[in-house]
Amino acid sequence: MITLDAISYYLPEETLTNDDLHELFPDWSVNKIAAKTGVIERRIAAKDEFASSMAIKAASKLFEEHKITPSEIQFILLCTQSPDYFLPTTACIVQHALGIPTTAGALDFNLGCSGYVYGLSLAKGLICSGDVENVLLITSETYSKHIHDHDKSVRTIFGDAASATFIKRNGHGADIRAITFGTDGSGAENLIVKGGGMRHPRVSDSEGTIPSPNGLSGTTLFMNGAEIFSFTLRSVPVMVKQILQKNSLEQEDIDLFVFHQANKYMLDHLRLKLGIPEEKFFVSMANCGNTVSSTIPIALKQAEEQKKIKSGMKVLVAGFGVGYSWGAGIIQY
């Protein structure tokens, strides 16, 4: 049995509140922002705070809160779409900073809102292979550094955060059961940062050679909200059905649904379309925003703290977004 034994997370100190956004964009009222997004404030990484530094803080909290020593760690998986560098791998920087043994493996993987679910499966696979006995799964994202100051549509949604999860063989935590995946690269350009890779080097933006559909800099995040919404309503219900079948369960067998915390508008539509009772649908983004790959672990941790998760419960986790990419799994507590 491969178990999820512990979760901790880190939120930056700086906040971007709805009052702040209203001052920047007077046509958007505080109430309108809250009603549509479900977010009151977002945490924003400082100028000198990056994926590595937030990952280090999240992992350090995990070690302290759960009495885990760095010397125990045998592999680091770090999910990020805002790495410190193209190379070296951010996970290598984190390994050194945390004092994790040089015998440990470490790698980054580039996924967004589905990243945590994928990470659970990657960790499970590594342990099942027999090559390692445990994995430190980290999600760390500074999407705010991708966002244009004048793009109010995404500034209202996204925040920065990092999480750290300890996964091991035959631990005392929750059993990670079967996981399912999905990919549709035809939607790649609906949530994209065009500038910065080899196809569109970031330096070219000063010459105006990186177009962006929203008229802003092509080196910043572009999101086609309508297309992302349509993709989500189309794909997530099918994914939920698939993961239930894969685990030989009915929807009524699930005690709690923890979806990627995209925004309130989208989650409300998904819950109603799937017919999930409100008391079984956990929402937790008001004080941090959409933190991309960190939303699910943060929500799981907060659900535990609020006694929404108890021993014996089955929790369905589902991530979906940029790629397009989606994944879901069952966690048995």
pLDDT tens sequence across 75-104:
999 999 999 999 999 999 999 999 999 999
**What is the pTM assigned to this prediction?**
0.95
| Tens of pLDDT, residues 119-167 | 999 999 999 999 999 999 999 999 999 999 988 889 999 999 999 999 9
Q: Which of the four pLDDT bands, split at 50, 70 and 90, describes residue 214?
A: low
| Tens of pLDDT, residues 224-262 | 999 999 999 999 999 999 999 999 999 999 999 999 999
Sequence-ordered strand ranges (E) for the chain: 2-10, 14-17, 41-44, 75-79, 105-109, 134-141, 161-169, 174-183, 191-192, 222-223, 256-259, 314-321, 325-332
Hey, which residues are catalytic here? 113, 260, 290
Is the model's pLDDT at 203 over the cut of 90?
no
Q: Which of 329, 332, 121 is nearest to 244 (CA)?
A: 329
In degrees, to the nearest 5, what angle opens at C-alpha 42 toward C-alphas 37 and 47?
140
Distance from C-alpha of 37 to C-alpha of 287, rounded to nearest angstrom: 11
**Residues of the chain with pLDDT > 70: what percent?**
95
Domains and CATH numbers, the chain: 2-172 (3.40.47.10), 177-332 (3.40.47.10)
Quote the pLDDT of residue 211.
Answer: 58
Average pLDDT, the chain: 94
